[in-house]
């Protein structure tokens, strides 16, 4: 049977993943005997679940991280899923390395009594961002600025194609948070401070992501993660994983609203948030998860926890935490390191009647139905699912989509006659972020927290400027500015992901400032002192506090985190593409304004929500 064969590449690379080269059994297993093609998915799954042992059911409800699980573990514990953390990659991080790894796990899953295929998940949150040379799209805050649902669907489809080309089945995206406080280090994961942008985007992105039938999308993080206040100090995080204190109506109007169109497009999975709503962790919030999500809203996919999030539930033992989470609607636990302990605890809890078998069967049924939907039972191996491997990752068509998204996301905030730039001018380009793919891509790019330098293939803002003008000089620190007609100074934030991007008023080792660094301000000042008009391009995941400096600048453009096709920024600067971006968040004047949003009392931003100039 073709479905039970490994590709030659996979066989050669299996050894990299702690496996002695297991081949799936060619004998008839339970799945092959049930003959999916001769019945409905629902009856097929019902029959399969009825023949499963508790160990096999619990295995389906368990997800481990690739560095902590081998193909032999998949076979022994009947594990239903594996993921990679940010920056956790196989081999040399080539598409064939990914396919070989995933096929090795899949072969082990098929070589069991049941023969149930496993599902592999990854965070492809702005393109297939863990994989070197993939197309890196702008982060969500930039996409929110463009206000283009049609393009969002294309981005979802392009991302799915690159994900599928590496053999991955499941993407933990889109993030549907609504950011209400710029101090939150994950604000760039959100489309904006109002639900309207997410409402218009969520269904279209999910449609594009799931259209091929090869990749499952995930609506996350359910729910209210963008509305948190400061945490309790029980961990190192400041705002992340905090508490959203709102009425149920406000929760529905602001934070649940973006999910509804994702549900209409039958998004396959939902991921719970680390955060709480009115003091209760979402991973144990039965009212919101069971009554609203699965009951009232009719979500019929399955729910996955966030990374090791169950342990943050308040309880004496981890077993108690697991009982609370599973009974509150959790279907699969992301237990990257301690998955064996999870299996032990949940099994004991079921045997002791603390978790009803009906809840276990419901969870497993939901998981298996999505595996059927993905075609994993018919085509589990990478080569069976698609032969469209070569020329997919980072291809020009996908990069063109990303470049268009970059163009449409640029927000012109100030223009004192400096834009559009004259292609015949003598131009100085300066600043830390002008020629750095890593800084322009932000967190969740190759590494979890991102990085600096040429971490992946792409075009920088400097590259784009050089494509438009012939007399261009680059000086990172702004020296040598005298004699130039204009200076483009590109500055902004360093890359960060969850936790590390949070802002605190106290000195904080992992926290980010909401201001430009002294070095960056010195670069701008050096150019100003030379008498050269200055256009500042800000590369950041959120607005920065610039009220004091802005009067000295001749122009200001918010470029957000444009990703691998940052040359699209220059298309706007030179007027080849008419500026159309509008602020997806209010731009605060002072630190006291960072948690004020449009419609709030005392709302006096530097730039209003929806502001954006054109020419």
- 18-22, 306-310, 550-554, 581-585: least confident range: 18-22
Q: What is the pTM of this model?
A: 0.94
CA dihedral 428, 432, 433, 434 (to 10 degrees): 20
Average pLDDT value for the chain: 93
388 is catalytic: no
pLDDT for residue 232 is more than 60: no
Model confidence pLDDT, tens digit, residues 129-139: 999 999 999 99
Q: What is the pLDDT of residue 13?
A: 39
Integer CA distances (angstroms), 158 to 8, 89, 198, 285, 371, in order = 28, 21, 19, 35, 22
The H-or-E segment that residue 486 falls in is strand 486-492
- Strand arrangement of the beta sheet that strand 218-222 belongs to: 218-222, 269-272, 302-304
Q: In residues, how long is the chain?
A: 615
Q: Are the beta carbons of 103 and 120 closer than 8 angstroms? A: no
pLDDT band at residue 5 using 50, 70 and 90 as cut-offs? very low
Q: How confident is the model at residue 389 (pLDDT cuts 50, 70, 90)?
A: confident
At which residue do the structure tokens 């529905």 appear?
A: 252
pLDDT at 510: 58
508 has pLDDT over 60: no
Mean pLDDT of 516-540: 98
- C-alpha pair distances (Å), 312 with each of 77, 281, 594, 595, 602: 25, 8, 28, 26, 35
279-336 pLDDT tens trace: 999 999 999 999 999 999 999 999 999 999 999 999 999 999 999 999 999 999 999 9
Looking up tokens 């209400």 gives 180
- Can you give the pLDDT at residue 388? 79
pLDDT tens for residues 397-438? 999 999 999 999 999 999 999 999 999 999 999 999 999 999
Report the pLDDT averaged over residues 111-136.
Answer: 98
Q: Pick the catalytic residue: 181, 335, 498, 593?
A: 498
* % of the chain beyond a pLDDT of 70: 93
Q: Which fold has domain 396-593?
A: Rossmann fold (3.40.50)
Among 162, 306, 331, 554, the active-site one is: 306
Residues 6-54: pLDDT tens digits?
333 333 333 443 333 334 444 578 888 888 889 999 999 999 999 999 9
Catalytic residue status for 284: no
Give Cβ neighbours of residue 477 (< 8 Å, ≥ 6 apart). 430, 519, 522, 523, 526
| Confidence at 174, pLDDT banded by 50, 70, 90 | very high
pLDDT at position 16: 41
- The mean pLDDT value for 266-276 works out to 98
């Amino acid at each position: 049977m073709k479905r039970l064969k490994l590709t030659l590449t996979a066989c050669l690379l299996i050894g990299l993943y702690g496996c002695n080269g297991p081949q799936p059994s060619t004998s008839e297993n339970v799945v092959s005997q049930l003959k999916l093609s001769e019945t409905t998915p629902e009856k097929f799954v019902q029959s399969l679940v009825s023949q499963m042992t508790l160990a096999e059911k619990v295995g389906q409800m368990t997800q481990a991280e690739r560095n902590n699980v081998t193909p032999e573990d998949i076979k022994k514990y009947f594990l239903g899923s594996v993921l990679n953390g940010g920056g956790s990659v196989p081999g040399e991080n080539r598409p064939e390395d990914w396919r070989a790894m995933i096929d090795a796990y899949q072969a082990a899953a098929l070589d069991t009594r049941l023969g149930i295929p496993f599902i592999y998940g990854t965070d492809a949150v702005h393109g297939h961002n863990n994989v070197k040379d993939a197309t890196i799209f702008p982060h969500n805050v930039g996409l929110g600025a463009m206000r283009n649902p049609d393009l969002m669907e294309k981005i979802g489809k392009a991302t799915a194609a690159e994900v599928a080309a590496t053999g991955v089945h499941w993407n933990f995206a889109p993030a549907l948070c609504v950011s209400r406080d710029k101090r939150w280090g994950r604000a760039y994961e959100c489309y904006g401070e109002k639900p309207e942008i997410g409402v218009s985007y969520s269904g279209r992105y999910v449609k594009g992501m799931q259209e091929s039938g090869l990749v499952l999308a995930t609506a996350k993080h359910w729910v209210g993660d963008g509305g948190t206040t400061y945490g309790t100090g029980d961990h190192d995080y400041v705002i992340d994983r905090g508490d959203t204190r709102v009425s149920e109506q406000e929760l529905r109007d602001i934070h649940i609203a973006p999910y509804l169109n994702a549900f209409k497009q039958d998004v396959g999975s939902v991921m719970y948030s680390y955060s709480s709503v009115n003091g209760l962790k979402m991973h144990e919030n039965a009212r919101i998860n069971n009554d609203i999500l699965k009951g009232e809203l009719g979500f019929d996919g399955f729910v996955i926890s966030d990374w090791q999030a169950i342990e943050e539930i308040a309880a004496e033992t981890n077993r108690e935490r697991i009982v609370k989470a599973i009974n509150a609607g959790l279907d699969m636990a992301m237990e990257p390191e301690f998955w064996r302990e999870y299996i032990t605890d949940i099994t004991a809890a079921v045997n002791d009647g603390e978790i009803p078998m009906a809840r276990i069967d419901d969870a497993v049924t939901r998981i298996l139905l999505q595996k059927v939907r993905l075609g994993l039972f018919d085509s589990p191996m990478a080569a069976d699912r698609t032969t469209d491997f070569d020329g997919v990752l980072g291809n020009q068509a996908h990069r063109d989509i990303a470049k268009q998204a970059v163009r449409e996301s640029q927000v012109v905030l100030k223009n004192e006659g400096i834009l559009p730039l004259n292609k015949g001018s003598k131009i100085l380009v300066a600043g830390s972020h002008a020629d750095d793919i890593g800084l322009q891509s932000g967190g969740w790019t190759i590494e979890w927290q991102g990085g600096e330098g040429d971490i992946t293939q792409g075009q920088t803002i400097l590259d784009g400027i050089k494509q438009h003008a012939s007399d261009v000089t680059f000086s990172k620190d702004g020296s040598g500015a005298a004699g130039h007609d204009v200076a483009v100074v590109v500055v902004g934030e360093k890359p960060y992901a969850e936790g590390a991007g949070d802002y605190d008023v106290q000195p904080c080792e992992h926290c980010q400032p909401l201001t430009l660094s002294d070095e960056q301000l010195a670069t701008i000042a050096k150019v100003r002192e030379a008498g050269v008009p200055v256009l500042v391009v800000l590369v950041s995941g959120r607005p920065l506090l610039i009220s004091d400096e802005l009067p000295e600048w001749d122009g200001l453009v918010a470029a957000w985190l444009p990703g691998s096709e940052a040359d699209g920024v220059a298309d706007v600067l030179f007027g080849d593409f008419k500026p159309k971006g509008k602020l997806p968040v209010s731009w605060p004047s002072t630190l006291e304004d960072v948690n004020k949003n449009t419609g709030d009392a005392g709302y006096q931003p530097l730039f209003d929500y929806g502001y954006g100039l054109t020419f």
